[in-house]
Amino acid sequence: MPRNVRLSLGAVVLLLNAVQWVAAEAVAAAAWTAPPYSYAANYISDLGVPDCGALFQGRELCSPLHPLMNTSFALEGILFATGVVLLSCLATGRARRVFVSLAVAHGVAMVLVGLFHGSADGPDHTLFIHGGAAAVGILCANTVAILSGALRSLGAPPAYRAFSIAVGVLGLLSEAFVGASASTAGLFERGGVYSWLLWSAVTGTLLLAGHPRRRPATADSVPA
């Protein structure tokens, strides 16, 4: 596949990924009316729980459109992994292998998030897999964002590099405050997820606008 076609396709995939997640989440949240879904207090994963009326960690769960959100979880993993792998041609050597490995790990993790629900009524291993996969997915995607800014030889503008590092770091830091308060758990969780969705949207837009298009002059290396 020609390099320019690969970059354009990767950009479209990343943009589509961000849009489909935000749209699916908004529709699923709007369908949750008893009690009303809270973007600040409820976890994103609550939208994928199939048990209506269940009480879990003090939150009453009832997501009528849980299949939609679980499909979006899995689709996000597939699209993000595909988009980053397509764009990995901007890197060379070890950096390229790291990008691909992180993208694939994120993809597998998010598919597992969609398959194994964070439900209190399910088997213990289901909740364990869901939580572990979510953590891996968040870590890998934010690390991709950070590395895309840290590697100068990708040919990205300085402003984009600073943005990528900042959004990835803030995403990881946001996750550290998820357990600070039940009333803000969902808000901080979203900080760690919307970070990579924003990165996907900005990266896709930048690439479609034509930056960067040059091939790196030297092999990339991952910072120690």
Contacts of 65 by beta carbon, 8 Å cutoff, 6+ apart: 27, 28, 31, 32, 47
How remote is the C-alpha of 165 from its chain's centroid? 15
What does the pLDDT average to over 183-211? Answer: 93
Whether residue 35 is preceded by a cis peptide bond, meaning omega within 30 degrees of 0, is: yes
pLDDT greater at residue 173 or residue 51: 173
Q: What percent of the chain has pLDDT over 90?
A: 67
Encode pLDDT of 138-192 as tens digits: 999 999 999 999 887 677 788 999 999 999 999 999 999 998 898 999 999 999 9
* The pLDDT value given to residue 91: 87
Encode pLDDT of 92-105 as tens digits: 889 999 999 999 99
At CB < 8 A and 24+ separation, what contacts does 16-22 make? 16/79, 17/75, 17/76, 17/79, 17/80, 17/83, 17/197, 17/200, 18/197, 18/198, 18/200, 18/201, 18/204, 19/201, 20/72, 20/75, 20/76, 20/79, 21/72, 21/76, 21/197, 22/197
